[in-house]
Amino acid sequence: MSDDLADRLLCVLRAHIGVTTLEYLEPPTQLTGGFWAELLAFELQDPPAGWEGPLVARVMPEPALARKETVVQAAVAIAGVPTPRVRGAGGPDDGLGRAFMVMDRADGVPLLAGLDSAAGLIGAPRRLWRMPELLADAMAKLHTVDPRPIRGRLADVDGVARTVPEMLKHIEAWTTLTERADLVSATRWLIDHPVVAGDDVICHGDLHPFNMLIDERGRVTVLDWSTAVLAPRALDVAFTSLMLSNPPLAVPRSVRPLLRGAGRGLARRFRSRYRYHSGHAVDRATLEWFQAVVCLRALAEVSSWVHDGVVTSRAGHPWLLSGDRFAAHLGAVTGVPVRPL
């Protein structure tokens, strides 16, 4: 994090809050764990009402996507979903040159923290067993939130995918630009062969163990709403079960069979617990179709990194660690031979 960004953030906060003498309690620190946004943790000295306590500024490179994320996170937090409350937000013209959102800082560590080694995996069976329950419970609660207010607020946010059909149209254009004919063909197959999966709910779109924190008292917090969409609940169930089945952990080759076997068991338990908490089950054909959409989205993003020459800077990203399996699943559903890179 540059001092310049911290200084500009303080100037923006002074203007946004209306207190010209505002200061940091201590210099902001940069948080790790994100591939898209830059995260700055800070606390204000003598803060005005509503700005107390530890805060995080999420600085985002794409204004439209940032606007969508802010709208969704603010609304679901008010509705009682365990996610940080939004304190303020702005666009690239408000002083930072990028869009930003300021929110409460959440306590805890990711559900998979410390499990990226054989010792960690074997030593934490209780935490692994609880993981599907925590994910399923949070997802079921999210899916009870009325999507209509968010739909209205997103109506004037252009350039972002708000539904699965819009997502597929965006991916078709995206993969045409990156000259990935295999992904273009797979996208068109999915567009031409939709499934009927019920009414749209608010889907997080990226609910995996690294986007959920758990604190010492067992309370969870859901993070990162950048891929949220209004979609059938099957999209969220498909994403989370796919990620659990294919844990994106860089572990020694000798550990991978154990990890994949454990992952498949966790995915089955997650679907069972989601059915218990929500009263809804997702049939296998629907699950596989939506998992193909998830795989396509991931591979399309990777294709943009390759096209832009930045793929090496994304080393360790889940899409790269699971690319082979994503390509295989997408090909199996659509009948299109798909490559991971």
Amino acid at 279: G
User: Has residue 48 got a pLDDT over 70?
Assistant: yes
On the CB side of 16, how many CA atoms lie within 13 Å of its CA? Answer: 21
Q: Write out the residue range of the structural domain in which residue 46 sits.
A: 3-104
Determine the pLDDT at residue 72: 97
**339 lies in a domain?**
no
User: Has residue 1 got a pLDDT over 50?
Assistant: no
User: Has residue 180 got a pLDDT over 50?
Assistant: yes
Q: How far apart are CA 274 and CA 300, in angstroms?
A: 28
User: Has residue 257 got a pLDDT over 90?
Assistant: no
Our count of domains for the chain comes to 2
User: Has residue 33 got a pLDDT over 90?
Assistant: no
Determine the pLDDT at residue 255: 66
pLDDT band at residue 84 under the 50/70/90 scheme = very high
Q: How far apart are CA 7 and CA 303, in angstroms?
A: 36
CATH label of the domain that carries residue 241 = 3.90.1200.10
Residue where a domain stops, chosen among 104, 132, 165: 104
Nearest one of 190, 286, 193, 188 to 237, comparing CA atoms: 286
Nearest one of 46, 48, 67, 2 to 28, comparing CA atoms: 2
**98 lies in a domain?**
yes
Residue where a domain stops, chosen among 104, 131, 163: 104
3-state secondary structure of 34: coil
**Same-domain check for residues 82 and 119:** no
**281 lies in a domain?**
yes
**Per-residue model confidence as pLDDT tens digits over 282-315:** 999 999 999 999 999 999 999 999 999 999 988 8
**341 lies in a domain?**
no
Residue where a domain stops, chosen among 46, 79, 104: 104
Determine the pLDDT at residue 64: 94
User: Has residue 2 got a pLDDT over 70?
Assistant: no
DSSP 195-244: ----SEEEE-S--SGGGEEE-TTS-EEE---TT-EEEEHHHHHHHHHHHH
**Same-domain check for residues 307 and 201:** yes
Amino acid at 20: T
User: Has residue 125 got a pLDDT over 80?
Assistant: no
Q: How far apart are CA 283 and CA 334, in angstroms?
A: 18
**Same-domain check for residues 27 and 113:** no
Q: How far apart are CA 234 and CA 231, in angstroms?
A: 8
**121 lies in a domain?**
yes
CATH label of the domain that carries residue 68 = 3.30.200.20
User: Has residue 119 got a pLDDT over 50?
Assistant: no
Determine the pLDDT at residue 59: 95
Q: How far apart are CA 225 and CA 229, in angstroms?
A: 9
Q: How far apart are CA 72 and CA 205, in angstroms?
A: 12
**Same-domain check for residues 83 and 166:** no
